Amino acid sequence: MIEAYILHLLIFICIYAILSMSLNLITGYAGMLNLGHAAFFGIGAYASVLIVMAGFPFWLGFIAAGAIAAFFGLLLSVPALRLRGDFLAIATLAFGEIIRSILVNWTEFTRGPLGIPGIPKPEIFGIAFDSLWMYFILAFIIAAVAYFVLRHLLNSNFGIALKAIRENESVAASLGKNVNLLKMQAFVVGAFFAGLAGSLFAHYITFIDPGTFVLGETILMLLMVALGGMGSLEGSILGAIILILLPEPLRFIGLPSAVVGPLRQIIYAAILIVLVIKKPRGLLGTQWFGGIVSDSN
């Protein structure tokens, strides 16, 4: 029993680790504050589910989830090239809300607010991932692949150039880096992995509705990134682990029914404030992020 509980948390950690790593690529490495990441997550989830439920195999839906999310990442990178800091944050927030609005209103396609129930567990080349152990293995492999791919990318010239952009865009440009292209690539790759996470999430949870992919979800991912440390993939994983586990001990506080929910949230928020004030660079962050702050003044 407790095994199922732990496996479940581990699966969530894998999914959210992918999300926070991909967000870290965009926000932590490339320095573009993205408040619309949940939209990529949702696009991936819906794409995968609609494709699989139309009768196509899971692997196709899974890859399409990434590809379609990546396409939207490309779209969103257009404003990203022109905007900075808070402005970009607000633009991405708007993007997320517009996507949510479309998911809600385009009922012929998405079933709107009713959501899509009965999503099948994945099957890849005859192997069914229907037990918790199997699903955990699948999620773990995908998260591990995501980590190694991203690490490889970020340790290559691409990653170094991204960090250079974040630190000082004009220096990076004068070093001959194509700043616009790099930013675009960061968005596309980040969105791609978020889309994959969406597929993984949808087939695990078996029911999706537009209410799942909202601003609150992006905020959770951002908290993971900030807590773990911006510009640190390992930090994002740690952030995901902590923020998935943090609410769990709070479940043991026995309180009257009307009090328990809000009080938990209050404790959660208070812990966050303290953590962020005491460790503003995140637990594993190594860099001083001067770039965005100094640019705005």
Partner 1 sequence: MVLEQLAVNGIIAGSEYALLAIGLTLIYGILRLIHFAHGEVAMVGAYSAFVVSVVFGLPLIAGFFVAIAAGALLGIAVNRIAFRPVRKQHILIGLITAIAVSILLQNAIALFFGNDIKTYNLGAVEKGIEVFGFIITKTQIVIVFTAVALMLLTWAFIKKTKIGQQVRAVADNRELAESIGIDSEKVIACTFAFGSALAAAGGVLIAAETNLAPMMGLMPNIKAFAAIIVGGIGSIPGAIFGSYFIGLAENIGIWFLPSGYKDAIAFFILVIFLLFMPTGIFGKKKEGIEQ
Partner 2 sequence: MKKVLLILKNKYFYRLTRGDEKVNRRIILISAAVIAVGLVVFFGLNQMGLAGLSAPEGAGGTVKIGIMLPLTGDAALYGESIGTSLELAKEEINAEGGILGREVELVLEDSACNANEGVKAINSLVNLKGLKLIIAAECSGPSLTAAPVAEDAKALYLVAVASNPDIKYAGDYVFRIAPSDAQQGKDIAQIVYDGGFRNTAVLFMDNAYGEGIAGVFMEEIGRLGGKVAIKQRFNQDDSDFRTQLLKTKETGPDSLFVVGYPQAYQLIIKQMYELGLNAQIFAGDTFKEASIVEALGDKVEGAIFSAYAESNSEEFRRFKEAYRKKYGKEYGPYGDYGYDSLYVLKAGIEYAKSFDPEVLKEKLYGVEYRGVTGLTKFDSYGEVDKPFGIMTVKDGMFVPYEAG
Beta bridge partners of 127: 124
Instruction: CB nearer to partner 1: give 5 or 87.
Output: 87
Q: How far is the CB of 87 from partner 2 (least distance, A)?
A: 25
CA distances from 133 to 8, 14, 111, 118, 282 (A): 9, 13, 31, 20, 32
User: CB neighbours (10 Å) of residue 293?
Assistant: 10
Q: What angle do CA 245, 228, 40 make, to 5 degrees?
A: 80
Which of partner 2, partner 1, none does 57 bind, CB closer than 5 to 8 A by kind? none
Which of partner 2, partner 1, none does 93 bind, CB closer than 5 to 8 A by kind? partner 1
Both tokens of 159, joined, read 């990653």
Which of partner 1, partner 2, none does 54 bind, CB closer than 5 to 8 A by kind? none
Instruction: CB nearer to partner 2: give 100 or 183.
Output: 100
What is the DSSP pairing of strand 127-128 with strand 123-124?
A: antiparallel
Which of partner 2, partner 1, none does 211 bind, CB closer than 5 to 8 A by kind? partner 2
Which of partner 1, partner 2, none does 209 bind, CB closer than 5 to 8 A by kind? partner 2
Which of partner 2, partner 1, none does 208 bind, CB closer than 5 to 8 A by kind? partner 2
Q: How far apart are CA 11 and CA 84, in angstroms?
A: 34
- Answer yes or no: are the C-beta atoms of 150 and 233 closer than 8 Å: yes
Instruction: CB nearer to partner 1: give 30 or 196.
Output: 30
Instruction: CB nearer to partner 1: give 11 or 284.
Output: 284
CA distances from 7 to 4, 11, 110, 135, 143 (A): 5, 6, 30, 9, 15
Q: How far is the CB of 76 from partner 2 (least distance, A)?
A: 23
- Answer yes or no: are the C-beta atoms of 91 and 78 closer than 8 Å: no
Instruction: CB nearer to partner 2: give 70 or 129.
Output: 129
Q: Given the rule CB under 8 A, which residues bind partner 2? A: 1-6, 8-9, 12, 104-105, 107, 112-115, 117-118, 132, 155, 160, 163-164, 167-168, 171, 174-175, 205-209, 211-212, 217, 229, 232, 234-235, 237-238, 241-242, 245, 247-249, 251-252, 254, 256-258, 260-262, 264-265, 283-284, 286-287
Beta bridge partners of 208: 116
- Answer yes or no: are the C-beta atoms of 229 and 286 closer than 8 Å: yes
Which of partner 1, partner 2, none does 189 bind, CB closer than 5 to 8 A by kind? none
Instruction: CB nearer to partner 2: give 193 or 204.
Output: 204
Both tokens of 109, joined, read 């396609």
Angle of the 233-245 helix axis to the 2-23 helix axis, nearest 10: 140
Which residues make Cβ contacts (< 8 Å) with residue 123, sequence separation at least 6? 57, 58, 129
Q: Given the rule CB under 8 A, which residues bind partner 1? A: 27, 33, 78-79, 81-87, 89-91, 93-95, 97-98, 101-102, 104-105, 219, 222-223, 226, 230, 258-259, 261-263, 265-266, 268-270, 272-273, 276-277, 280-281, 289, 292-293, 295-297
